[in-house]
Structure 1
Amino acid sequence: MSRLTPVIAALCASALLCAAPARAETVWVRAGHLVDPEAGKVWPARLIRVDDGRVTAVTPDGPVPAGARVIDWSAYTVLPGLIDMHVHLPDLDQSENVAEPLLHSAMESAFVGARHARATLMAGFTTVHNCGNFRAYADVELRNAINRGDVIGPRISTVGAYVTIPGGGGEVTGFAPDVTVPADMRAGVVVDAADTTRKVNALFQHGVDSIKLIATGAVLAQGTEPGQQELSDAEMRAAVEVARGRGSWVTAHAHGASGIKAAINAGVKAIEHASLIDDEGIALAKAKGVWLDMDIYDGDFIAEYGRAHRWPADMLRKNDDTTEAQRIGFRKAVKAGVKLSFGTDAGVYPHGLNARQFKYMVRYGMTPMQAIQAATTVSADLLGWSKDVGALSPGHYADMIAVSGDPLADITVLERVDHVVKGGVEVK
């Protein structure tokens, strides 16, 4: 038998290491201060013990065993990894060209998604709800690639595709009438309740975590109006019924007041945007325990950047019509005690700037702690992942960030994340 060459020997050794079960590793994290969103408090100097990627103990700072692996964040304020409940990772950034999605292949979208995922994680968002993409199942494949360790990124909850009417707010619109849109961009297009049942079942069969409905028109889709209901009540109920049968849930893009109430009455768990919500809709969300996921930063970005880059006039007009109304609704919802998660619609603006929304949430009625809770415990509860993410008590994944300064005194420090740990591994 011939001897193995050094290269082949090295490859064999590597394969054996990869095949061997991972050894449990203990890591200690020293936190100068620890923001505890479960208790709504900030604790002085804490020592966080991590075993095999999960928190096993949180105690006052003290000695660790000799030779222990220590991440020394004693000069920083430490928080649980942040959660963004509304991102679009595997899509191109919004631009002035409404047909932009048609200019890029599915393969390119995958690589773009990997880049966006990395930027999001580096910004301190260790978990996201990917709230739709034009290429069906691109988020499912990105989630799987991250979970396999192929690329770096946050934990992802997926929806696979938009469930929308033909030509509705979840379609690529604004191009010439003789252009054929690829089939994978129309996987969630439905024409009636029976079709909705079929399409939503197909989404789950392809591995999605939850469902995203486009209940009303959209600000950034030409030919649709935010105040107009698009999906019928029966179509929305059909989607909710399928999701419940599979132990899952549904969120609805809904700007208009009537569409919001129709979606809530159909049984959705959350409303995205809620821009034109009225007092009756706020009361209904409160009574039914429905989350509002309101992207109140976006309006300023669209108004400034969109005008500078000549975005279509109807998009800018719809943005003007909804921005201030959404912020008034947000303030009312805070006062009413409605559950408000943290969702930014990242992709409208560049990924990685997600934390810019915090100061808007504080400006429009939240305390800094409430804003942090929205991006941790409240969003984790909406995802159904409270046992795993959104906090740093024992049992949770060791997902955490470190920032210089006190976010309760200046919430904008969360826009400048110094360090990130995901699953006990320091990634930044």
Structure 2
Amino acid sequence: MNRRPLLALAALLAAPPLLAAEPPTEGGPTVLHCPHLLDPAAGKLLGESTVVIRDGRIQSVHAGTSSEPGARVIDLAGQTCLPGLIDAHTHLTSETSPTGYTDQFRWNTADYAIRSTVYARRTLLAGFTTVRNLGDSANESIALRNAIDAGVVPGPRIYTAGVPIGSTGGHADPTDGYRQDLAGNPGPKDGIINSPADAWKAVRQHYKDGADLIKIMPSGGVLDESASADNPQMTLEEIKAVVAAAHDYGFTVAAHAHGAEAIRRAVLGGVDSIEHGTFMDDADMKLMKEHGTWFVPTIIAGKYVEQMASTPGYYPPQVARKAKQVGPIIQATAGRAYKAGVKIAFGTDAAVYPHGQNAKEFEYMVQAGMPPMYVIQAATTHAAELLHRADALGQIRPGRAADVVAVPGDPLEDITALQRVSFVMKDGTVYKQDGKPL
């Protein structure tokens, strides 16, 4: 996607919120009555429980039903409560479209930014109260994060990488496929590096821009207009330089990597997570376990691109070819990684498929051989650990953020229940109740 000049978002930021969420009763607590409460840290489904919330935090959790003086009481009869879900791989400022490869020449950054508010709302209402945003085109997701944090628009809590970092002609190069006079020569300020020195400059630029973490592209990818989905595209020295610079600035590093060699280099280079991992081999898995590297499978993205590759004209021919190569493999790889004991956090590559369908990934993970409790942990305690926010997110425990969702029935018996989120609370504010947005 072209890096369009970043336009001011003053009109967007001045607009009223898109969703009239229901805030807590002024000065009083909110009490949730949950017939069942899923505790991912303990790996247990608890019985009837009361959750007391004050000032956007969990104040207490009690067995049975109780209340508090002056409290607003929400009875979630017939539902299971669980922590707000975390998607560790999203792209909230774009969405798949058959016109996407030409829209980039017509739309301005503001067009993408305004649409991102719709995608953010959709994601929140699907029960995902926190996301990592792993790449945009012009730092639009930084503006989106700031607008959500300020309460201007509704959406999940965002940890964003801004623009991705990669090499000339690689998966991060936004000008792949352009004619020569338009392609230009993107450099470190644009996230395109070709040396360790460039890597340091690119990371420092991200710090200046206000990013929360770093995303690198050490392998080819599916949706760019280059030839390979899996060839290595960054040297080990470049990856080590990115990681060293990132750690100086308090950043974690996520690595888009389909190919086995790119995965090996990324793990040896010290990245925190491998995204996609389609062609991961046994040696890669062993190395990831040794280094404690997280794996974020994004099965839904692989399945979606494989499906759409059969739709004439949806993707350019070279993209459709790569989609048909990656799609049939990615789910089986995730299953093998789980059996090998690789640490797995939940992530979907939202935007590659339509936003709001994130929870379909749970179903695919279970089909790959992962137990229902494990895949819920992947989207709560595991993802919170990957984010280095285990003290604030991923559990319904005193002191944590008051992020609570509920689904009808028991998701341990029917994992597809997570695709029917009926209640959403983020930071103590209710955005969805009885299956309806507020």
Task: State TM-score, norm by structure 2.
Answer: 0.89
Superposed counterparts of 1:211-230, under 5 Å: 211-230=214-233
- Match of 2:407? 403
Superposed counterparts of 1:3-402, under 5 Å: 25-95=28-98, 97-135=100-138, 137-172=139-174, 173-179=176-182, 187-308=190-311, 310=313, 311-402=315-406
Deviation string, structure 1 residues 251-310 (Cα, Å, up to 9, x no partner): 110100000000000000100110100000001011110001111122221222342252
CA distance in 1, matches of 2:42, 2:190: 43
- Match of 2:17? none
- Match of 2:6? none
Structure 1 letter corresponding to 2:308: Y
Indicate if the aligned counterparts of 1:31 and 1:77 stay in contact, CA closer than 8 A: yes
CA shift, 1:66, in A, is: 4.2
Structure 1 letter corresponding to 2:171: G
CA shift, 1:221, in A, is: 0.7
Task: State TM-score, norm by structure 1.
Answer: 0.91
Structure 1 letter corresponding to 2:215: K
Q: Choose 318-327 or 369-378, whichever is displaced more.
A: 318-327
Cα gap change, 1:62 to 1:107, in 2 (>3 Å): same
CA shift, 1:91, in A, is: 2.1
Deviation string, structure 1 residues 24-59 (Cα, Å, up to 9, x no partner): 541111111111101100011100011111112111
CA shift, 1:107, in A, is: 0.9
Q: Secondary structure at the match of 1:163?
A: coil
Indicate if the aligned counterparts of 1:214 and 1:230 stay in contact, CA closer than 8 A: yes
Indicate if the aligned counterparts of 2:309 and 2:321 stay in contact, CA closer than 8 A: no
CA shift, 1:184, in A, is: 11
Q: Choose 243-252 or 355-364, whichever is displaced more.
A: 243-252
Q: Secondary structure at the match of 1:243?
A: helix
CA distance in 1, matches of 2:93, 2:187: 13
Identity %: 38
Indicate if the aligned counterparts of 1:90 and 1:116 stay in contact, CA closer than 8 A: yes
Q: Secondary structure at the match of 2:88?
A: strand
CA distance in 1, matches of 2:97, 2:292: 32
Deviation string, structure 1 residues 100-150 (Cα, Å, up to 9, x no partner): 323210111110111110000010000000010112x21111111100001
Q: Secondary structure at the match of 2:130?
A: strand
CA shift, 1:328, in A, is: 2.4
User: How many matched pairs?
Assistant: 406
Indicate if the aligned counterparts of 1:193 and 1:238 stay in contact, CA closer than 8 A: yes
- Greater C-alpha radius of gyration: 1
For structure 1, the residue ranges without an aligned partner over 5 or more in a row are 1-21
For structure 2, the residue ranges without an aligned partner over 5 or more in a row are 1-24, 433-438
Indicate if the aligned counterparts of 2:267 and 2:293 stay in contact, CA closer than 8 A: yes
Q: Choose 277-286 or 242-251, whichever is displaced more.
A: 242-251
Structure 1 letter corresponding to 2:316: P
Structure 1 letter corresponding to 2:172: G
Indicate if the aligned counterparts of 1:134 and 1:171 stay in contact, CA closer than 8 A: no
Cα gap change, 1:423 to 1:175, in 2 (>3 Å): same
Cα gap change, 1:105 to 1:24, in 2 (>3 Å): same
Structure 1 letter corresponding to 2:230: G
Structure 2 letter corresponding to 1:384: H
Cα gap change, 1:181 to 1:32, in 2 (>3 Å): farther
CA shift, 1:232, in A, is: 1.3
Q: Secondary structure at the match of 2:105?
A: helix
Q: Identify which of 408, 422, 425 aligns with 1:421.
A: 425
Indicate if the aligned counterparts of 1:212 and 1:252 stay in contact, CA closer than 8 A: yes
